[in-house]
Amino acid sequence: MQTKKYKALEAIGKSMGEHNDCTVKAVAMFCNVRYTVAHKALANLGRIKGKGTNMLYVKAAIYVLSGKQPEISHECIKGHRTPNTYAKLTRGKSALVVVRGHIIYMQDGVIHDHDGCNTRRIEEVLS
């Protein structure tokens, strides 16, 4: 769902000439930092403006910005194969949900993202 939080980050990204920046938005929301802070952290780790990035950079950025190593889970997605079904489990929690070619931020059962990827198969969950 395009929440206010997501739309605000999208506007900032567009004002910076960004696209293909789902990792920047997801990391910013997950670490509770400004878009520009997450953008700079990912760029310092090797993300190229306007390009997607890999999970190594995402996990490193989370560590740099929060001081914590993200927990990776494959077990928790059994029976919850898409973000839409997994969102029900995130009430009271926040998580980054990795689907093919995209990363989604969820908090308290709400998907903070555009609607286009919510039915893709989940590959990994970071919490």
Q: Cα separation of 84 and 81, whole Å? A: 8
Delimit the domains of the chain by residue range.
Answer: 4-126
Report the pLDDT value the prediction gives residue 75, as an integer from 0 to 100.
63
Of 58, 62, 50, 56, residue with least CA distance to 21: 50
Report the pLDDT value the prediction gives residue 58, as an integer from 0 to 100.
96
Report the pLDDT value the prediction gives residue 15, as an integer from 0 to 100.
97
Residues 13-22 have pLDDT tens digits of 999 999 999 9
Report the pLDDT value the prediction gives residue 76, as an integer from 0 to 100.
65
Residues with pLDDT less than 70, the chain: 74-79, 116
Contact 74, 126 (CB under 8 A): no
Residues 35-61 have pLDDT tens digits of 999 999 999 999 999 998 999 999 999
